[in-house]
Structures are given as C-alpha cells and as structure tokens.
Structure 1
Amino acid sequence: MGKIILTSNVTLDGVVQDPDGAEGFERGGWFHQSVGAGDLQDWTARETQEALDAEVLLLGGRTNEWFADRMTERNLAEGRVSPEWANRVRSMPKYVVSSTLEDPRWGNVTVLGGEVVKEVSELKRKVDGEILIYASYQLARTLIEHNLLDELRLVVFPVVLGTGLRFFDETSDKKPLHLVNTRKMGDGLLFYTYEFVQG
C-alpha cells in the first residue's frame, strides 16, 4: 500500500497561496523574496531527493498545469530549474485529479476524472511506495478531510502575510499529528515532517 505525502512551501502564518507571484495574489511572490542562495541550495537538494524517493506524483489540475509550464526544456536550458529534479518529475508516473483535463501537456500522465476519494483510495492500494503531492491545495484538503493523507512535509518561510489561502482553513474535526522530524535549511528556512494520527 502506498503512503500519501503532501509536501509544500508555507509562510510562518500558514499561507500556501501564490509563492511565485504568478497567480496575481497581492501578497504573492513570497518564495523568492524570502530566500537567500544557501536557502535555495538546500531547498533544491531536498526537493530533488524527495522526488527521487517517491514512486508517483499526485497532482490537482492547476498544479499539474503549473509544473507542466515550468519543467520544460527551455527552463532547463536557461537554468531556472534543477536538471536532476526536473528530469525526475518529468519521467515519473503522474496522476492528475481533474474533471476537465483533456491534454495533460507532458508525458506519463493518468487523469483521475471520477470520484476523488474513491480513485485516490484505489491509487493508494495499487502503489507500493511514496505518493507525493505537490501543493494541490483543494485536493489536499479533500484528502485530509477523508483521512487519506499519511504525512505532511512543510518548508516554512520566514515571512508573515496576514492573509491568503491556507491548507487548514476548514476541517470538520480535529486532525492530530505526530512530529517526526524538524531541521533548519540554509540560513532561514525550517523543514517539518508530521504524520497524521489515524484513529
């Protein structure tokens, strides 16, 4: 059985919205505004290893589009993306939850267009290893609500936005977690790993 892991960048006050500023959120762009060179080097190394350790990616529709735009040969050639990370993400099997996606725009994609909880539960039973979710906030909230998420990995950035979308804005009940690991990355980032306590 697979282990579903959500990995995300987050501000100190829990905002996950628009880290690169591409969505037009007035307080977006906080990722690059909040990191130094050493932070980015450690962040890239962690992201790369995480992708290498995972068996598949599970993405929401908008996150799939975001990654398809960024993991291109052009961005690789221009040095905007780590080659090892990008090549791994591009080559690994990807499952995209979407009721409208017809052209995935990149390879090795299976579209999950049915009932989300059922299809993700089946994927979890089928995969042996880590199922990695990047961002995909709406999908993540659904999986948290239905107790399908096993682990949460957060890279906390040293900035407070005061407003914006958060993972945990709405849950129907308490969701206890167990702290597995914490470490500093670079000069200013913190990396936390939590497991969801399934009761």
Structure 2
Amino acid sequence: MGKIIISENVTLDGVIEDTRGDEGSVSWFTGIGDDDRAAWAEAEYAEAVGAAALLMGRKTHAYFLNRGWASRAGEWADRLRALPKYVVSSSAVDDAGWGETTVLAGDVVKEVAKLKEEVSGEIVVYGSGKLVRTLIEHDLADELRLMTYPFVVGAGARLFPEAGVKPARLLGTRPVGSALVLLTYELIHP
C-alpha cells in the first residue's frame, strides 16, 4: 500500500504560494543563499530517490514542465523523469517528454484511494495546494514534509486555510543548510 507524502516549501507563517516566484525575481523562495539552495536541492533529490511515484495537480504539473524539467540535465531531473506521475485533472495533460504520466479524472478521493492501493511505497505530492487540502481533509495524506523558509510574508495561499483540527505527530526536525528547517509530521487518522 502506498503512503501519501505531502512535500511543501512553506514560510514561517504557513504560506505556500510565492506570488513573486517568477524565475529571476527575489522572493521568499529564492531569497536564501546559494549554499542553502544547494542543501535544499540535495534534500529534494534524496526525497525523489525514495519516492515510488509523484502525485500532483494540473497546475503544478504544468509548472514543472514550464520550467524545463522534461529536458533538464542531472540526477535529480533524471529521477523525476523516471518516476510515474499521476496528475489530478478534469482534462488531458501533456507529458511533454517528462515520462509516464497518468491523468486521474473523476472523484479525486476515490481515485487517490485507489492509487494508494495500487502503488507500493511513497507517493510524493509537490505543490498542488488545492489537492493537498483535499487529501488532508479526507485523511488520505499520511505524512507532511515541510521545508520551512525563514520568512514571514503575511499574504499568499496557505497550506491549511480553515482546515480544522488535524492531529499530527512530530517525526523529525532537520536543519537544511543554515537557513532552512525540514519538519516532518505523521498525520494521525481517526
């Protein structure tokens, strides 16, 4: 049985949306130093190596494609290309050479529950705020990995807007570089 891992970049105040996230602009995501960015990339690559599949929403899938992940060089890009990708979307998506891509259409809760039964190992969810909130609301997410950035931004989409009480157990904290902290929590299901 698969395990749904929510992997998010998040600010201290819980924001996951980088409203100034265009490549080349300074934002909370790009506002860290080169050493911290390299440490972040190492942690992300290690997570990808441990994954059995990727699950994401249509917009996050398009975000990866628009930033050239289908043609990037390097072990991290190679690993992401090799992983099967499951995209929640009501319409077709273009894999654009990014490897095996399956569209999950219809009832998201039923489709993801079925996916958890079919995939053995970690199913990692990047970005995909709307999908993440649905997975948490319906107790389909098993673990949160929050790469926490040392910024308070005050505005932007949050990971848990009005999520209600969802108990979690701390599994670990780990510094990543000198500025980031990776917080890992197991979500407790009733």
Report runs of 4+ in structure 1 exceeding 4 Å deviation. none
1:187 aligns with 2:178: yes
Provide the rounded CA distance (Å) in 1 between the counterparts of 2:91 and 2:20: 25
Provide the rounded CA distance (Å) in 2 between the counterparts of 1:46 and 1:125: 27
Any idea what the Cα deviations from partners look like across 1:96-121, whole Å, max 9, x if unmatched? 00002343323200000111000000
Structure 2 match to 1:80: none
Aligned partner of residue 55 in structure 1, secondary structure = strand
- Counterpart amino acid of residue 114 in structure 1: G
1:38 aligns with 2:35: yes
Provide the rounded CA distance (Å) in 2 between the counterparts of 1:88 and 1:49: 10
Structure 1 match to 2:89: 98
Provide the rounded CA distance (Å) in 1 between the counterparts of 2:40 and 2:70: 20
Identity of aligned residues (%): 49
Structure 2 match to 1:153: 145
2:154 alignment partner, one of 139, 155, 162? 162
1:116 aligns with 2:108: yes
2:54 alignment partner, one of 57, 74, 83? 57
Aligned partner of residue 111 in structure 1, secondary structure = strand
- Counterpart amino acid of residue 41 in structure 1: A
Aligned partner of residue 174 in structure 1, secondary structure = coil
Structure 2 match to 1:79: none
- Counterpart amino acid of residue 155 in structure 1: M
The structure that is helix-richer by fraction is: 1
Cα RMSD after superposing both structures: 1.8
Provide the rounded CA distance (Å) in 1 between the counterparts of 2:49 and 2:21: 27
Provide the rounded CA distance (Å) in 1 between the counterparts of 2:2 and 2:22: 32
| TM-score between both structures, scaled by the size of structure 2 | 0.93
How big is the shift at 1:92?
0.8
Aligned residues: 187
Instruction: List alignment gaps of at least 5 residues for structure 2.
Output: none
